[in-house]
């Protein structure tokens, strides 16, 4: 019984930081903004691709993250700057053209699930850093389980995006998308600023 209690306690202690770092709920409006003009089938494929990409990046980082950092002399700050630039370019493109991806190309509309949704949005510098810290404090199996639980929640929310779009209507989604992309640009600038300050510090 004590082992079960300890397991659940550690699961909670690892789940919550990852939930906050992943920003599961906050990613939903960005997903809607990026995929609102794609076909339903392509949107569903983007959901699967984003989840699989996030899973692969997260598990890969848990397995060999430290070794890669040391081998390539890469720091978390480098991820912040790179991820921030990707998000900033995407946000600017959307705010200027009204489109985040080329929806006529089914492959491109689905690949948005890989970049930027899978990474750096779902699994970005914050999640990678959190994973790195957690595996130093808890059993890797528990950290991985918490990570997978968070991804399942994210997948479920993305799958319900169609109902949210139907509820808000095209005008509502368009207005919200503009606001979200402006906020995304601000988040991107913050990531770049934090990365640069860390590198300079």
pLDDT tens for 151-161 read: 999 999 899 88
Query: Residue 144: pLDDT above 50?
Result: yes
Span 164-169, average pLDDT: 73
Of 73-87, 104-118, 142-156, give the lowest mean pLDDT range. 104-118
Structure tokens at 194: 């934090």
Given this model, what pLDDT does residue 9 score? 92
Given this model, what pLDDT does residue 104 score? 45
Of 60-64, 84-88, 98-102, give the lowest mean pLDDT range. 98-102
Given this model, what pLDDT does residue 38 score? 79
Sort 42 into a burial class: Cβ within 10 Å, 0-12 / 13-18 / 19+: buried
User: 91 vs 43, which has greater pLDDT?
Assistant: 43
Q: pLDDT averaged over the chain?
A: 83
Given this model, what pLDDT does residue 52 score? 96
Q: What is the largest CA-CA distance in the chain?
A: 58
103 pLDDT tier (thresholds 50, 70, 90): very low
CA–CA dist 63, 57 (Å, integer) = 10
């Amino acid at each position: 019984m004590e082992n079960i209690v300890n397991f659940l306690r550690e699961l909670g202690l690892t789940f919550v930081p990852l939930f906050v770092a992943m920003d599961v709920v906050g990613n939903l409006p960005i997903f809607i903004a990026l995929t609102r003009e794609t076909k339903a089938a392509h949107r569903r494929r983007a959901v699967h691709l984003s989840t699989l990409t996030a899973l692969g990046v997260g598990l890969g980082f848990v397995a060999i993250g430290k070794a890669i950092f040391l081998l390539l002399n890469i720091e978390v700050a480098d991820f912040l700057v790179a991820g921030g630039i990707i998000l900033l370019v995407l946000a600017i493109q959307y705010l200027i053209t009204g489109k985040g991806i080329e929806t006529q190309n089914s492959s491109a509309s689905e690949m948005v699930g890989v970049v930027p949704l899978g990474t750096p949005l779902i699994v970005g510098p914050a999640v990678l850093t959190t994973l790195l810290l957690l595996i130093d404090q808890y059993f890797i199996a528990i950290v991985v389980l918490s990570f997978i639980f968070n991804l399942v929640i994210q997948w479920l929310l993305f799958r319900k995006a169609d109902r949210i779009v139907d509820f808000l209507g095209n005008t509502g989604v368009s207005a919200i998308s503009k606001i979200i992309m402006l906020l995304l640009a601000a988040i991107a600038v913050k990531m770049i600023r934090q990365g640069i300050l860390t590198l300079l510090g």
